[in-house]
Amino acid sequence: MNTSDSDEDAYNERTALVQSESPVVPSYRPDPGPGPAEESKGAGISRRSRPGVDGGESDQEVDAEEEELPLKYGAKHVIMLFIPVTLCMVVVVATIKSVSFYSEKTNQQLIYTPFTEDTQNVGRRLLNSVLNTIIMISVIVVMTILLVVLYKYRCYRFIHGWLILSSLMLLFWFSFMYLGEVFKTYNVAVDYPTVAMIIWNFGAVGMICIHWKGPLQLQQAYLILISALMALVFIKYLPEWSAWVILGAISIYDLVAVLSPKGPLRMLVETAQERNEPIFPALIYSSAMMWTVGMASSTDAQRSETDEEAEQNDRRAEPRSQQPRAVSEDELEEERGVKLGLGDFIFYSVLVGKAAATGGDWNTTIACFVAILIGLCLTLLLLAIFKKALPALPISITFGLIFYFSTDFLVQPFMDNLANHQFYI
Protein backbone atom coordinates (compact mmCIF):
# COMPACT_ATOMS: atom_id res chain seq x y z
CA MET A 1 0.00 0.00 0.00
CA ASN A 2 1.14 3.36 -0.73
CA THR A 3 1.87 5.09 2.48
CA SER A 4 3.29 8.41 3.01
CA ASP A 5 4.84 9.51 6.18
CA SER A 6 2.11 11.90 6.84
CA ASP A 7 -0.33 9.14 7.34
CA GLU A 8 1.34 7.65 10.31
CA ASP A 9 -0.42 8.42 13.44
CA ALA A 10 0.61 7.57 16.80
CA TYR A 11 -2.21 7.41 19.08
CA ASN A 12 -2.46 6.03 22.44
CA GLU A 13 -4.59 6.53 25.40
CA ARG A 14 -2.69 9.49 26.56
CA THR A 15 -3.17 11.20 23.33
CA ALA A 16 -6.79 10.34 23.31
CA LEU A 17 -7.31 12.12 26.54
CA VAL A 18 -5.06 14.97 25.77
CA GLN A 19 -6.44 15.85 22.50
CA SER A 20 -10.05 16.27 22.91
CA GLU A 21 -10.61 17.45 19.48
CA SER A 22 -9.25 14.61 17.61
CA PRO A 23 -12.37 13.21 16.18
CA VAL A 24 -12.13 12.50 12.59
CA VAL A 25 -14.41 13.88 10.09
CA PRO A 26 -15.28 11.34 7.55
CA SER A 27 -14.54 12.26 4.16
CA TYR A 28 -16.82 12.02 1.39
CA ARG A 29 -15.67 11.43 -1.99
CA PRO A 30 -17.44 12.22 -5.04
CA ASP A 31 -16.02 11.20 -8.28
CA PRO A 32 -17.15 13.34 -11.00
CA GLY A 33 -16.10 12.52 -14.44
CA PRO A 34 -15.64 14.83 -17.33
CA GLY A 35 -18.26 15.49 -19.91
CA PRO A 36 -17.37 12.66 -22.20
CA ALA A 37 -16.82 10.25 -19.42
CA GLU A 38 -19.15 9.49 -16.73
CA GLU A 39 -18.63 10.79 -13.35
CA SER A 40 -18.80 8.87 -10.29
CA LYS A 41 -18.86 9.76 -6.81
CA GLY A 42 -17.47 7.95 -3.98
CA ALA A 43 -17.99 8.57 -0.44
CA GLY A 44 -15.22 8.00 1.83
CA ILE A 45 -15.15 7.86 5.44
CA SER A 46 -12.40 9.19 7.29
CA ARG A 47 -11.31 7.56 10.32
CA ARG A 48 -9.33 8.70 12.99
CA SER A 49 -6.63 6.87 14.62
CA ARG A 50 -7.75 4.57 17.22
CA PRO A 51 -6.34 4.89 20.64
CA GLY A 52 -3.16 3.01 20.98
CA VAL A 53 -2.75 0.34 23.49
CA ASP A 54 0.48 1.67 24.68
CA GLY A 55 0.66 2.17 28.37
CA GLY A 56 -2.34 1.44 30.41
CA GLU A 57 -1.85 4.16 32.87
CA SER A 58 -4.62 6.56 33.28
CA ASP A 59 -4.13 10.14 32.62
CA GLN A 60 -6.22 11.69 35.22
CA GLU A 61 -3.38 13.70 36.54
CA VAL A 62 -2.58 14.84 33.09
CA ASP A 63 -6.13 15.71 32.42
CA ALA A 64 -6.37 18.74 34.59
CA GLU A 65 -3.22 20.41 33.46
CA GLU A 66 -3.83 19.66 29.85
CA GLU A 67 -7.32 20.90 29.68
CA GLU A 68 -5.99 24.11 28.25
CA LEU A 69 -4.35 22.31 25.37
CA PRO A 70 -7.42 21.19 23.44
CA LEU A 71 -8.58 24.71 22.98
CA LYS A 72 -5.27 25.84 21.69
CA TYR A 73 -5.04 22.98 19.31
CA GLY A 74 -8.60 23.48 18.28
CA ALA A 75 -8.08 26.99 17.01
CA LYS A 76 -4.94 26.02 15.20
CA HIS A 77 -6.64 23.06 13.58
CA VAL A 78 -9.49 25.19 12.42
CA ILE A 79 -7.12 27.64 10.82
CA MET A 80 -5.18 24.80 9.25
CA LEU A 81 -8.32 23.73 7.49
CA PHE A 82 -9.65 27.19 6.71
CA ILE A 83 -6.70 28.05 4.55
CA PRO A 84 -6.88 25.18 2.06
CA VAL A 85 -10.67 25.30 1.87
CA THR A 86 -10.53 29.04 1.25
CA LEU A 87 -7.81 28.62 -1.37
CA CYS A 88 -9.81 26.01 -3.21
CA MET A 89 -12.91 28.17 -3.21
CA VAL A 90 -10.91 31.21 -4.32
CA VAL A 91 -9.50 29.29 -7.28
CA VAL A 92 -12.96 28.08 -8.28
CA VAL A 93 -14.64 31.46 -7.91
CA ALA A 94 -11.82 33.25 -9.73
CA THR A 95 -12.10 30.82 -12.61
CA ILE A 96 -15.88 31.07 -12.76
CA LYS A 97 -15.79 34.82 -12.79
CA SER A 98 -13.11 35.16 -15.42
CA VAL A 99 -13.33 32.15 -17.69
CA SER A 100 -16.79 32.12 -19.13
CA PHE A 101 -16.51 28.54 -20.30
CA TYR A 102 -17.38 27.14 -16.93
CA SER A 103 -20.55 29.10 -16.47
CA GLU A 104 -21.87 28.74 -19.99
CA LYS A 105 -24.98 26.79 -20.51
CA THR A 106 -24.30 23.55 -22.20
CA ASN A 107 -26.60 20.96 -23.61
CA GLN A 108 -24.14 18.27 -22.90
CA GLN A 109 -24.83 16.52 -19.68
CA LEU A 110 -23.19 13.78 -17.77
CA ILE A 111 -24.76 10.40 -18.12
CA TYR A 112 -25.43 10.45 -14.43
CA THR A 113 -27.99 13.16 -14.93
CA PRO A 114 -29.88 12.08 -17.99
CA PHE A 115 -33.04 14.05 -17.42
CA THR A 116 -32.95 17.43 -19.03
CA GLU A 117 -34.02 20.59 -17.31
CA ASP A 118 -35.04 22.31 -20.47
CA THR A 119 -38.74 21.97 -19.91
CA GLN A 120 -41.21 24.81 -19.53
CA ASN A 121 -43.16 23.35 -16.71
CA VAL A 122 -41.81 24.11 -13.26
CA GLY A 123 -43.15 20.90 -11.83
CA ARG A 124 -41.63 18.87 -14.61
CA ARG A 125 -38.28 20.53 -14.08
CA LEU A 126 -38.40 19.82 -10.39
CA LEU A 127 -39.29 16.22 -11.05
CA ASN A 128 -36.40 15.87 -13.47
CA SER A 129 -33.92 17.28 -10.99
CA VAL A 130 -35.14 14.93 -8.29
CA LEU A 131 -34.80 11.99 -10.67
CA ASN A 132 -31.31 13.10 -11.64
CA THR A 133 -30.41 13.29 -7.99
CA ILE A 134 -31.73 9.82 -7.32
CA ILE A 135 -29.63 8.42 -10.14
CA MET A 136 -26.52 10.24 -9.01
CA ILE A 137 -26.88 9.19 -5.40
CA SER A 138 -27.48 5.59 -6.36
CA VAL A 139 -24.32 5.63 -8.42
CA ILE A 140 -22.47 6.96 -5.42
CA VAL A 141 -23.95 4.37 -3.10
CA VAL A 142 -23.04 1.59 -5.51
CA MET A 143 -19.52 2.92 -5.79
CA THR A 144 -19.14 3.15 -2.05
CA ILE A 145 -20.35 -0.36 -1.52
CA LEU A 146 -18.06 -1.59 -4.27
CA LEU A 147 -15.18 0.11 -2.57
CA VAL A 148 -16.04 -1.41 0.79
CA VAL A 149 -16.23 -4.85 -0.77
CA LEU A 150 -12.93 -4.40 -2.56
CA TYR A 151 -11.30 -3.24 0.59
CA LYS A 152 -12.73 -6.05 2.65
CA TYR A 153 -11.40 -8.63 0.23
CA ARG A 154 -8.05 -6.94 0.10
CA CYS A 155 -8.03 -6.11 -3.58
CA TYR A 156 -5.52 -3.41 -2.92
CA ARG A 157 -3.96 -3.42 -6.35
CA PHE A 158 -7.25 -2.85 -8.03
CA ILE A 159 -7.97 0.09 -5.80
CA HIS A 160 -4.51 1.47 -6.36
CA GLY A 161 -4.86 1.19 -10.10
CA TRP A 162 -8.21 2.91 -9.91
CA LEU A 163 -6.80 5.75 -7.85
CA ILE A 164 -3.87 6.20 -10.17
CA LEU A 165 -6.07 6.17 -13.24
CA SER A 166 -8.40 8.77 -11.86
CA SER A 167 -5.69 11.11 -10.68
CA LEU A 168 -3.97 10.69 -14.05
CA MET A 169 -7.09 11.79 -15.81
CA LEU A 170 -7.60 14.67 -13.47
CA LEU A 171 -4.04 15.90 -13.62
CA PHE A 172 -3.62 15.63 -17.36
CA TRP A 173 -6.93 15.80 -19.13
CA PHE A 174 -8.83 18.25 -16.96
CA SER A 175 -5.91 20.57 -16.55
CA PHE A 176 -5.36 20.50 -20.31
CA MET A 177 -8.95 21.58 -20.84
CA TYR A 178 -8.63 24.19 -18.13
CA LEU A 179 -5.44 25.62 -19.59
CA GLY A 180 -6.98 25.79 -23.02
CA GLU A 181 -9.96 27.72 -21.72
CA VAL A 182 -7.80 30.14 -19.75
CA PHE A 183 -5.70 30.88 -22.81
CA LYS A 184 -8.76 31.41 -24.94
CA THR A 185 -10.20 33.79 -22.38
CA TYR A 186 -7.08 35.93 -22.33
CA ASN A 187 -6.69 35.66 -26.08
CA VAL A 188 -3.08 34.60 -26.14
CA ALA A 189 -1.48 32.41 -28.72
CA VAL A 190 0.16 29.31 -27.37
CA ASP A 191 1.85 26.62 -29.33
CA TYR A 192 1.55 22.90 -28.89
CA PRO A 193 5.11 22.24 -27.73
CA THR A 194 4.81 24.74 -24.90
CA VAL A 195 1.45 23.37 -23.84
CA ALA A 196 2.79 19.84 -23.97
CA MET A 197 5.72 20.81 -21.74
CA ILE A 198 3.46 22.58 -19.25
CA ILE A 199 0.93 19.80 -18.97
CA TRP A 200 3.56 17.08 -18.89
CA ASN A 201 5.49 18.78 -16.11
CA PHE A 202 2.40 19.67 -14.12
CA GLY A 203 0.93 16.19 -14.39
CA ALA A 204 4.09 14.16 -13.83
CA VAL A 205 5.21 16.14 -10.79
CA GLY A 206 1.64 15.97 -9.49
CA MET A 207 1.56 12.20 -9.77
CA ILE A 208 4.91 11.96 -8.02
CA CYS A 209 3.90 14.29 -5.22
CA ILE A 210 0.53 12.77 -4.58
CA HIS A 211 1.23 9.09 -4.98
CA TRP A 212 4.84 8.82 -4.00
CA LYS A 213 6.97 11.24 -2.04
CA GLY A 214 7.17 14.96 -2.30
CA PRO A 215 7.29 18.13 -0.29
CA LEU A 216 4.23 18.54 1.86
CA GLN A 217 3.27 22.00 0.65
CA LEU A 218 3.49 20.91 -2.95
CA GLN A 219 1.31 17.90 -2.24
CA GLN A 220 -1.23 20.11 -0.51
CA ALA A 221 -1.19 22.55 -3.40
CA TYR A 222 -1.79 19.77 -5.91
CA LEU A 223 -4.66 18.34 -3.89
CA ILE A 224 -6.27 21.76 -3.70
CA LEU A 225 -5.84 22.21 -7.44
CA ILE A 226 -7.35 18.89 -8.39
CA SER A 227 -10.27 19.48 -6.05
CA ALA A 228 -10.83 22.81 -7.72
CA LEU A 229 -10.66 21.23 -11.19
CA MET A 230 -13.17 18.59 -10.21
CA ALA A 231 -15.49 21.16 -8.72
CA LEU A 232 -15.32 23.16 -11.95
CA VAL A 233 -16.30 20.12 -13.98
CA PHE A 234 -19.23 19.56 -11.67
CA ILE A 235 -20.31 23.16 -11.94
CA LYS A 236 -20.18 23.04 -15.70
CA TYR A 237 -21.91 19.78 -16.36
CA LEU A 238 -24.56 19.53 -13.69
CA PRO A 239 -27.85 21.14 -14.62
CA GLU A 240 -28.98 24.02 -12.45
CA TRP A 241 -31.64 22.68 -10.18
CA SER A 242 -30.14 19.20 -10.10
CA ALA A 243 -26.95 20.60 -8.65
CA TRP A 244 -28.71 22.07 -5.64
CA VAL A 245 -30.80 19.00 -5.01
CA ILE A 246 -27.70 16.83 -5.38
CA LEU A 247 -25.82 18.93 -2.85
CA GLY A 248 -28.62 18.50 -0.35
CA ALA A 249 -29.00 14.80 -1.00
CA ILE A 250 -25.30 14.15 -0.70
CA SER A 251 -25.13 15.80 2.68
CA ILE A 252 -27.89 13.54 3.89
CA TYR A 253 -26.17 10.52 2.38
CA ASP A 254 -22.93 11.50 4.05
CA LEU A 255 -24.68 11.76 7.37
CA VAL A 256 -26.28 8.37 6.97
CA ALA A 257 -23.26 6.60 5.57
CA VAL A 258 -20.94 7.74 8.27
CA LEU A 259 -23.04 7.65 11.37
CA SER A 260 -25.37 4.73 10.96
CA PRO A 261 -24.00 1.39 12.15
CA LYS A 262 -24.53 -0.30 8.83
CA GLY A 263 -23.30 2.58 6.77
CA PRO A 264 -20.72 1.65 4.15
CA LEU A 265 -18.36 4.39 5.12
CA ARG A 266 -18.48 3.42 8.71
CA MET A 267 -17.74 -0.17 7.81
CA LEU A 268 -14.80 0.99 5.77
CA VAL A 269 -13.47 2.96 8.66
CA GLU A 270 -13.88 0.11 11.06
CA THR A 271 -12.24 -2.40 8.75
CA ALA A 272 -9.33 -0.10 8.23
CA GLN A 273 -9.04 0.45 11.93
CA GLU A 274 -8.98 -3.25 12.60
CA ARG A 275 -6.24 -3.74 10.11
CA ASN A 276 -4.39 -0.71 11.36
CA GLU A 277 -3.72 0.52 7.89
CA PRO A 278 -3.04 3.97 6.58
CA ILE A 279 -5.30 5.77 4.27
CA PHE A 280 -4.45 6.31 0.67
CA PRO A 281 -2.67 9.64 0.48
CA ALA A 282 -4.30 10.53 -2.78
CA LEU A 283 -7.66 10.89 -1.16
CA ILE A 284 -7.03 13.02 1.84
CA TYR A 285 -5.66 16.40 2.45
CA SER A 286 -3.34 16.44 5.40
CA SER A 287 -2.30 19.69 6.88
CA ALA A 288 0.69 18.83 8.94
CA MET A 289 3.40 16.37 9.29
CA MET A 290 3.84 14.33 12.30
CA TRP A 291 7.06 13.03 13.39
CA THR A 292 8.28 11.16 16.32
CA VAL A 293 11.19 9.08 17.27
CA GLY A 294 10.63 5.43 17.72
CA MET A 295 6.93 5.66 17.76
CA ALA A 296 4.56 3.14 16.49
CA SER A 297 1.74 4.77 14.78
CA SER A 298 -1.66 3.65 14.04
CA THR A 299 -3.04 5.16 11.01
CA ASP A 300 -6.45 5.87 9.97
CA ALA A 301 -7.65 4.10 7.03
CA GLN A 302 -9.86 5.92 4.82
CA ARG A 303 -11.63 4.71 1.87
CA SER A 304 -13.23 6.42 -0.85
CA GLU A 305 -14.78 4.94 -3.79
CA THR A 306 -13.96 5.91 -7.18
CA ASP A 307 -15.43 5.50 -10.46
CA GLU A 308 -13.54 3.53 -13.00
CA GLU A 309 -12.78 6.55 -14.96
CA ALA A 310 -13.05 9.25 -12.46
CA GLU A 311 -10.84 10.14 -9.67
CA GLN A 312 -11.72 9.63 -6.15
CA ASN A 313 -11.65 12.08 -3.42
CA ASP A 314 -11.83 11.52 0.20
CA ARG A 315 -13.23 13.82 2.59
CA ARG A 316 -12.49 13.68 6.09
CA ALA A 317 -11.00 15.64 8.75
CA GLU A 318 -8.88 14.04 11.21
CA PRO A 319 -6.59 15.34 13.75
CA ARG A 320 -3.46 13.45 14.00
CA SER A 321 -1.30 13.44 16.89
CA GLN A 322 1.55 11.59 18.13
CA GLN A 323 2.25 10.53 21.54
CA PRO A 324 5.69 9.85 22.77
CA ARG A 325 6.21 6.59 24.42
CA ALA A 326 6.50 6.74 28.12
CA VAL A 327 9.72 4.77 28.07
CA SER A 328 11.47 6.66 25.35
CA GLU A 329 14.29 8.83 26.47
CA ASP A 330 14.70 10.69 23.28
CA GLU A 331 13.16 13.97 22.88
CA LEU A 332 10.01 13.39 21.02
CA GLU A 333 8.31 16.01 19.06
CA GLU A 334 4.67 16.22 18.64
CA GLU A 335 2.85 17.90 15.94
CA ARG A 336 -0.76 17.65 15.29
CA GLY A 337 -2.39 17.92 12.00
CA VAL A 338 -5.82 17.76 10.60
CA LYS A 339 -6.98 15.78 7.67
CA LEU A 340 -9.90 16.55 5.49
CA GLY A 341 -11.10 14.47 2.63
CA LEU A 342 -10.93 15.85 -0.86
CA GLY A 343 -14.60 15.29 -1.50
CA ASP A 344 -15.38 17.89 1.12
CA PHE A 345 -13.23 20.38 -0.71
CA ILE A 346 -14.98 19.59 -3.92
CA PHE A 347 -18.50 20.00 -2.68
CA TYR A 348 -17.79 23.15 -0.76
CA SER A 349 -16.28 24.61 -3.89
CA VAL A 350 -19.21 23.43 -5.99
CA LEU A 351 -21.59 25.26 -3.71
CA VAL A 352 -19.62 28.49 -3.72
CA GLY A 353 -18.87 28.21 -7.42
CA LYS A 354 -22.52 27.72 -8.31
CA ALA A 355 -23.39 30.70 -6.14
CA ALA A 356 -20.81 32.73 -8.03
CA ALA A 357 -21.98 31.50 -11.42
CA THR A 358 -25.70 31.81 -11.04
CA GLY A 359 -26.27 33.96 -8.00
CA GLY A 360 -26.81 37.65 -8.17
CA ASP A 361 -23.53 39.24 -7.40
CA TRP A 362 -20.78 39.06 -4.84
CA ASN A 363 -23.16 39.23 -1.89
CA THR A 364 -24.40 35.73 -2.51
CA THR A 365 -20.93 34.32 -3.10
CA ILE A 366 -19.48 35.79 0.04
CA ALA A 367 -22.49 34.76 2.10
CA CYS A 368 -22.07 31.15 0.97
CA PHE A 369 -18.37 31.29 1.64
CA VAL A 370 -18.91 32.51 5.18
CA ALA A 371 -21.63 29.93 5.74
CA ILE A 372 -19.35 27.09 4.72
CA LEU A 373 -16.55 28.26 6.98
CA ILE A 374 -18.95 28.53 9.90
CA GLY A 375 -20.16 25.02 9.16
CA LEU A 376 -16.59 23.78 9.08
CA CYS A 377 -15.92 25.39 12.44
CA LEU A 378 -18.94 23.74 13.97
CA THR A 379 -18.00 20.40 12.47
CA LEU A 380 -14.55 20.61 13.98
CA LEU A 381 -16.09 21.56 17.29
CA LEU A 382 -18.31 18.51 17.18
CA LEU A 383 -15.27 16.53 16.24
CA ALA A 384 -13.60 17.72 19.40
CA ILE A 385 -16.58 16.74 21.49
CA PHE A 386 -17.43 13.39 20.01
CA LYS A 387 -13.98 12.20 19.06
CA LYS A 388 -15.06 9.99 16.25
CA ALA A 389 -15.46 10.10 12.55
CA LEU A 390 -17.96 12.68 11.52
CA PRO A 391 -19.32 13.71 8.18
CA ALA A 392 -17.93 17.05 7.09
CA LEU A 393 -20.61 17.88 4.58
CA PRO A 394 -23.99 18.18 6.29
CA ILE A 395 -23.57 21.22 8.49
CA SER A 396 -21.62 23.29 6.00
CA ILE A 397 -23.80 22.42 3.04
CA THR A 398 -26.99 23.10 5.00
CA PHE A 399 -25.75 26.49 6.06
CA GLY A 400 -24.50 27.16 2.57
CA LEU A 401 -27.82 26.29 0.98
CA ILE A 402 -29.80 28.34 3.48
CA PHE A 403 -27.55 31.33 3.00
CA TYR A 404 -27.59 31.00 -0.77
CA PHE A 405 -31.32 30.89 -1.17
CA SER A 406 -32.08 33.49 1.43
CA THR A 407 -29.45 35.89 0.11
CA ASP A 408 -30.47 35.40 -3.45
CA PHE A 409 -34.16 35.81 -2.89
CA LEU A 410 -34.40 38.07 0.12
CA VAL A 411 -31.25 40.02 0.79
CA GLN A 412 -30.31 40.78 -2.78
CA PRO A 413 -33.53 42.51 -3.87
CA PHE A 414 -33.57 44.33 -0.56
CA MET A 415 -30.06 45.71 -1.09
CA ASP A 416 -30.82 46.58 -4.69
CA ASN A 417 -33.89 48.47 -3.69
CA LEU A 418 -32.04 50.36 -1.02
CA ALA A 419 -29.35 51.27 -3.50
CA ASN A 420 -31.92 52.33 -6.05
CA HIS A 421 -33.53 54.70 -3.62
CA GLN A 422 -30.19 55.84 -2.23
CA PHE A 423 -31.25 54.83 1.20
CA TYR A 424 -28.35 53.93 3.41
CA ILE A 425 -28.83 51.96 6.54
For another protein, the binding residues (CB under 8 A) are 4-6, 180, 183-184, 187-195, 197, 200-202, 204-205, 208, 213-216, 218-219, 289, 291, 293
CB of 30 to another protein, least distance (A): 27
SS3 category, 319: strand
Indicate which residue of 7, 31, 54, 254 is catalytic: 254
SS3 category, 162: helix
Are the beta carbons of 41 and 146 closer than 8 angstroms? Answer: no
Q: How far apart are the first and last CA of the chain?
A: 60
Q: How far apart are CA 374 and CA 254, in angstroms?
A: 18
CB of 172 to another protein, least distance (A): 14
Angle between helices 216-237 and 192-211 (to 10 degrees): 120
Is 344 catalytic? The answer is yes
CB of 199 to another protein, least distance (A): 10
CB of 282 to another protein, least distance (A): 14
Of 121 and 194, which has the nearer Cβ to another protein?
194
User: CA 259 → CA 256, 269, 270, 272, distances in Å?
Assistant: 6, 11, 12, 16
Q: Which amino acid belongs to residue 5?
A: D
Is 254 catalytic? The answer is yes
Of 64 and 189, which has the nearer Cβ to another protein?
189
Of 222 and 404, which has the nearer Cβ to another protein?
222
Of 104 and 191, which has the nearer Cβ to another protein?
191
Give the count of beta carbons closer than 10 Å to the beta carbon of residue 87.
18
Q: How far apart are CA 221 and CA 398, in angstroms?
A: 27
- The full length of the chain comes to 425
- Eight-state DSSP code of residue 317: B
CB of 164 to another protein, least distance (A): 17
Of 289 and 419, which has the nearer Cβ to another protein?
289
Angle between helices 240-259 and 342-358 (to 10 degrees): 160
SS3 category, 79: helix
Active-site residue numbers? Answer: 254, 344
